[in-house]
């Protein structure tokens, strides 16, 4: 999970743009402010809309449309698996040619990015299709064996609208594959983040605390204790981070002096914030107190991360600031309202997700698009039945 917030205006080259050995001129204060503000906004969008979509996803009646739930056991093992994966990637980049590794990764994320972006824009695009649009239904079915031993491998139903969304997403995919442009990178990164917040669910607040606490230690160790995470983030040419150029005002869309934010810093707090939104709904008080509190806490934590990074001119483990804020603020509100017991006894899987499958596998890169898209890819490729389209639901 690449989760360091990095500031490249000290002259180092960053992933997401051309790499060279020349020292870049220092960014202007306006450019730095624009880059930081844009990163903050891009981090908030998938959390907010992903949390709203997680409620609709959780209320789905078809078992095949259910999200995957992370249990306390999964959460406890997550940082260990993530550390092994991160170290493995670091060794790969040290031993093998970075060019060939990134070529394979580009093809991998090209496919996953198209699927993620198509799934993300589908509810928005449905609003623009006229009622007279010829929407035909299709089914992609692969089976294994015959007779009583026949087993479905893929049973995916889709329609013409889905094909249009897939076509538009493919244009972005080709753009990313050919140019590695930072805008295409961010479109894929935002899609991965939103799908992660929507489709990965924590079963209760205790599990969320275990997950965030473990990744808090993971993040601090790999950023401050070693150069592994920053090295992987700079070498990894894939949409596993949100980037924004600090020299946009000087060079326009061809700018290449990037500040970046790992997707882990968006998705990991995001799934906890989404859990608190579902807890708010379970209270049936027509208020979203805990959701808005945790959302404000995220803004505070990420803003503090940016401030510290700008002062010390060093990449920061954003979860160092986000985890205490996102857990501490809602717990303080619960203490003030006398609802701590209700908060920690709330079971998402029991309240809204009676048949939610448990997360039984660990993805390739914890907190990165590989992890989030693997879960999403199985959901998109697995058997499912289409629900009635609701263009206005978000």
pLDDT number for residue 363? 42
Whether 74 is a known active-site residue: answer: no
Q: How many CB atoms lie within 10 A of CB 142?
A: 11
Catalytic residue among 74, 162, 247, 265: 265
Domain boundaries, the chain: 27-121+162-343
* pLDDT tens track for 32-68: 999 999 999 999 999 999 999 998 887 765 444 568 8
Token pair, residue 379, equals 């959901």
pLDDT number for residue 290? 95
pLDDT number for residue 159? 83
For residue 186, give Cα distances in angstroms to 50, 72, 262, 365, 375.
16, 31, 11, 18, 20
pLDDT number for residue 27? 75
For residue 306, give Cα distances in angstroms to 7, 194, 315, 372.
9, 22, 9, 25
Whether 219 is a known active-site residue: answer: yes
* Parts of the chain with a pLDDT under 50: 8-22, 62-64, 351-373, 375-377, 379-394
pLDDT number for residue 18? 36
The answer to whether the beta carbons of residues 254 and 180 sit under 8 Å apart is no
Pure H helices in 59-130 = 72-95, 98-125
Token pair, residue 239, equals 């949409």
* Cα end-to-end distance, the chain, whole Å: 27
pLDDT number for residue 355? 41
54: nearest Cα among 214, 162, 189, 203: 203
The answer to whether the beta carbons of residues 362 and 375 sit under 8 Å apart is no
Catalytic residue among 65, 219, 247, 280: 219
208: nearest Cα among 294, 135, 126: 294
pLDDT number for residue 7? 55
């Amino acid at each position: 999970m690449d989760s360091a917030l990095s500031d490249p205006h000290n002259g180092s080259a960053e992933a997401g743009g051309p790499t060279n050995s020349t020292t870049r001129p220092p960014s202007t204060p306006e450019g730095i402010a624009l880059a930081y503000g844009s990163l903050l906004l891009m981090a908030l969008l998938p959390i907010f809309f992903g949390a709203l979509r997680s409620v609709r996803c959780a209320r789905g009646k078809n078992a095949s449309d259910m999200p995957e739930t992370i249990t306390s056991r999964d959460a406890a093992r997550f940082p260990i698996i993530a550390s092994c994966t991160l170290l493995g990637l670091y060794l790969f980049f040290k031993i093998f040619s970075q060019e060939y590794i990134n070529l394979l990764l580009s093809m991998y994320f090209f496919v996953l990015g198209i699927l993620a972006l198509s799934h993300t824009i589908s509810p928005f695009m449905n609003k623009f299709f006229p009622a007279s649009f010829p929407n035909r239904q299709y089914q992609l079915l692969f089976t294994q064996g015959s007779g009583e031993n026949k087993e479905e491998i893929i049973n995916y139903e889709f329609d013409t609208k889905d094909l249009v969304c897939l076509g538009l997403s493919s244009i972005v995919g080709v753009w990313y594959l050919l140019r590695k442009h930072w805008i295409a990178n961010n479109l894929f990164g935002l899609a991965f983040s939103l799908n992660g917040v929507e489709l990965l669910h924590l079963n209760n607040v205790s599990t969320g605390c275990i997950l965030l606490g473990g990744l808090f230690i993971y993040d601090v160790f790999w950023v401050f204790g070693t150069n592994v995470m920053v090295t992987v983030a700079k070498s990894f040419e894939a949409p596993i981070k949100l980037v924004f150029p600090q020299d946009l005002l000087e060079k326009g869309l061809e700018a290449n002096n990037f500040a970046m934010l790992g997707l882990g810093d968006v998705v990991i707090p995001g799934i906890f914030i989404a859990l608190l939104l579902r807890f708010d709904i379970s209270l049936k008080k027509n208020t979203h107190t805990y959701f808005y509190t945790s959302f404000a806490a995220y803004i505070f934590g990420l803003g503090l991360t940016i401030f510290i990074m700008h002062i010390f001119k060093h990449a920061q483990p954003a979860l160092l600031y986000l985890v205490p804020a996102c857990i501490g603020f809602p717990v303080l509100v619960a203490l003030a309202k006398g609802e701590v017991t209700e908060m920690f006894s709330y079971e998402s899987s029991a309240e809204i997700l009676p048949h939610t499958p448990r997360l039984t596998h660990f993805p390739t890169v914890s907190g990165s698009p590989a992890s989030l898209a693997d879960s999403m890819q199985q959901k998109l490729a697995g058997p499912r039945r289409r629900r009635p389209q609701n263009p206005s639901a978000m």
